[in-house]
Structure 1
């Protein structure tokens, strides 16, 4: 019987201690939070690089190609649209992003064409093809990406 009383007393004391701790945390923030200000503009963290301001530099640092521009961009988008207009489906920037991602898959699986095709099929979806466009079109997409965005991979 005494054991049950001791457990009850300890449990009650523990709850009181926790309740006492939680009520003190609702006080206004102390000096440690005084450095937080909403300036209305995002500020980079101390020591952060400007890679987010220059995505091509970030891609280069990651070993990926720069975003295609001008004739290279046109050749890429035209190549995809020649396969099937639903591949790009009016989302040029999304297609560019997917193309660069596909270059990463080519680099990660150098020489493993079946794996590259598999990854391409998974990555290149559209509203009418949520599971991808199939292996045949994925292989064609892969070829367009490889020749227009990252031919050195």
Structure 2
């Protein structure tokens, strides 16, 4: 008797489900949702605004980049080691550290020592040169911090 009642309840539930899923084209049926467009990619301005709020300056113009690369090369030519674009990106990221820790020179130098490496200096250039790198970055790429 219990199994007969369970079977009847299952049949009722199945019938209700099938009725709810029917393809009724009448005016009482709920309107079908149309897929929405995928969100657009962030614009260059939004990306630049996000970087700026995170403490990353815009990419430098050619003259600023040249001055920055010369400053790094003056500290040690191996800092750049022929990879100017990489040195600029490391510098822009170092600006973020300067922005977030403006009074913590030790933190800034420590991050520069980890960030600025080369094949001949895989563990960085030491504390003295790291501090000089921070000055070069700050002076050339993000003086407003």
Same fold (TM over 0.5): yes
Aligned to 2:84: 92
1:134 and 2:126 aligned: yes
Aligned to 1:48: 41
Q: C-alpha separation between the residues in 2 aligned to 1:122 and 1:139? A: 12
Runs of at least 5 residues in structure 1 that lack an aligned partner in the other structure: 1-44
Q: Compute the displacement of 1:139 (Å).
A: 0.5
Q: C-alpha separation between the residues in 2 aligned to 1:83 and 1:54? A: 35
* Normalised TM-score (structure 2): 0.68
Q: C-alpha separation between the residues in 2 aligned to 1:125 and 1:70? A: 23
Give the number of aligned pairs: 109
Q: Compute the displacement of 1:56 (Å).
A: 4.1
**Bigger radius of gyration:** 2
* Normalised TM-score (structure 1): 0.65
Aligned to 1:107: 99
Show structure 1 runs of 4+ deviating over 6 A: none
Q: C-alpha separation between the residues in 1 aligned to 2:129 and 2:59? A: 23
Runs of at least 5 residues in structure 2 that lack an aligned partner in the other structure: 1-37
Q: C-alpha separation between the residues in 1 aligned to 2:101 and 2:46? A: 27
- Point out which structure has higher relative CO (alpha carbons under 8 A, 6+ apart): 2
Q: Compute the displacement of 1:46 (Å).
A: 1.6
